[in-house]
Amino acid sequence: MKNTFGNNLCLTLFGESHGEYIGGVLDGLAPGIAIDDDYIRSQLCLRRPAGKISTARQEADEYRIVSGVFEGKTTGTPLTILIPNTAQHSKDYSATRALARPGHADYTAYEKYHGYEDYRGGGHFSGRVTAALVAAGAIVLSALKQKGIVIGTHIASCGGIEDSNFENLSAEIAALNTKNFAVIDDDKGAEMRAQIEAAAADGDSVGGVLQTAILGVPAGVGEPWFDTVEGVLSHALFSIPAIKGVQFGDAFAMVNGRGSDYNDSYYISDEEIKTATNHNGGVNGGITNGMPILFSCAVKPTPSIFKAQNTVDIFNKTDAVLELKGRHDPAIIHRARVVVDSVAALAIADLLVTRFGTDWLRLPLVKGAVDNVD
């Protein structure tokens, strides 16, 4: 369904970098979910560029919810978020329009849209559109939290520096979700920032890996074929610009080991079934097993760099050299983190609503609530 995602909780994204608004329509939300504007703002703030390691473009991200909310709560009808674009530069994009930026969508957009695309600032492909994802995700994240489901992401590596591993998930997620630069070990974070600044100084950029945990999802969610938890999450995650790989649990590490190293053995704890390890990232056979859902996203180095690059003139089909100017992020991984959380929230909420019904997100969390609706 093109720019719409979800079977029962659906988000439709729209907007271009230099259009009037970017935004989204979120349909299938239960009625009665409280809108926490402070939280939405704080999430948008985490996505916004800040300091030397980000682009100088600053947007207030003053979102407005223009439908689907009444007296501070969701109505259950489509919820529309608008975020005005206020900081577009008026520079003449047409001058460099013909030169496709390597690693960007300029050329592919041209092939798809035959030159009718809004090319200014990346148009509909701009990372700016993720602000709408974050605003919509914030609403879903706060609804999930009421149900005991929390999501958090850390920068597992950036510029070759690795963060500590998750050890105490609940506490670490709580801490990460308030940090601008989301690492477990702030010393490693400082090293990463130094790498980003070094790349920026070279007119270059860096990438990294984001690792995400989702806690509190009951066992038994997902489908055996096609709509597996991994399939649904990855489908949504690959929308995030610069994400080129998604692994669940220890996927790319497991490939070099043996089954006996990586089968997560079961045991009983407090009458609940747990796994002793979680190499499979909380999913077996496409379905949740009640353990934390763990996945990692490979974020490629930002393609906007200031070094001269070989490219082509897409209209005249001639070779050319491109030297970008203007405002660009030397890294987006620290900003992409909250986008990952938002997308994960949307995808997992869709699976939960499919399983437990439209109203589930609104229902009070009581001991055994999941069993009740069974």
CB 283, CB 250: distance < 8 Å: no
Under the criterion CB under 8 A, does residue 37 sit at the interface with its own copies?
A: no
> Nearer Cβ to its own copies, position 169 or 298?
298
> Nearer Cβ to its own copies, position 187 or 261?
261
Find the shortest distance in angstroms from Cβ 176 to its own copies.
Answer: 19
Q: Which residues, 6+ apart, have CB-to-CB distance to 234 below 8 Å?
A: 246, 295
Within 99-156, where are the H helices? 106-113, 130-146
Give phi and psi for 36, each to the nearest 5: -105, 95
Give the residue from 12, 348, 373, 47 showing the smallest Cα distance to 180.
47
Indicate which single residue of 206, 336, 339, 361 sits in contact with its own copies (rule: CB under 8 A): 206
Under the criterion CB under 8 A, does residue 258 sit at the interface with its own copies?
A: yes
Q: Residues binding its own copies: what is the number (CB under 8 A)? A: 157
Distance CA 328, CA 205 (A): 9
Residue ranges in 283-342 that form contacts with its own copies under rule CB under 8 A: 283-290, 298-305, 307, 309-312, 314, 317-319
The secondary structure element, H or E, covering residue 334 is helix 333-356
Stretch that binds its own copies, among 143-151, 153-161, 168-176, 177-185 (CB under 8 A): 153-161
Indicate which single residue of 44, 129, 213, 349 sits in contact with its own copies (rule: CB under 8 A): 129
Provide the b/e sequence for 310-349 (b: ≥16 CB within 10 Å): ebbebeeeeeeebebeeebbbbbbbbbbbbbbbbbbbbbb
CB 105, CB 127: distance < 8 Å: no
Find the shortest distance in angstroms from Cβ 330 to its own copies.
Answer: 8
Stretch that binds its own copies, among 37-45, 49-57, 112-120, 167-175 (CB under 8 A): 112-120
Find the shortest distance in angstroms from Cβ 67 to its own copies.
Answer: 4
Under the criterion CB under 8 A, does residue 216 sit at the interface with its own copies?
A: no
Give the residue from 332, 355, 353 showing the smallest Cα distance to 104.
332
The secondary structure element, H or E, covering residue 10 is strand 10-15
Find the shortest distance in angstroms from Cβ 34 to its own copies.
Answer: 10
Find the shortest distance in angstroms from Cβ 171 to its own copies.
Answer: 26
Find the shortest distance in angstroms from Cβ 143 to its own copies.
Answer: 13
> Nearer Cβ to its own copies, position 175 or 363?
363
> Nearer Cβ to its own copies, position 62 or 171?
62
Find the shortest distance in angstroms from Cβ 126 to its own copies.
Answer: 10
Find the shortest distance in angstroms from Cβ 174 to its own copies.
Answer: 26
Indicate which single residue of 44, 59, 123, 135 sits in contact with its own copies (rule: CB under 8 A): 123
Residue ranges in 48-67 that form contacts with its own copies under rule CB under 8 A: 64, 66-67
Give the residue from 359, 277, 331 showing the smallest Cα distance to 55.
331
CB 73, CB 32: distance < 8 Å: yes
Give the residue from 46, 329, 340, 304 showing the smallest Cα distance to 209.
340
Find the shortest distance in angstroms from Cβ 50 to its own copies.
Answer: 20
Within 302-332, where are the H helices? none
Residue ranges in 71-110 that form contacts with its own copies under rule CB under 8 A: 73-80, 82, 100, 102-105, 107-109
∠ CA 227-151-213 to the nearest 5 degrees? Answer: 75
Residue ranges in 217-256 that form contacts with its own copies under rule CB under 8 A: 218-228, 230-232, 234-239, 241, 243-252, 254-256
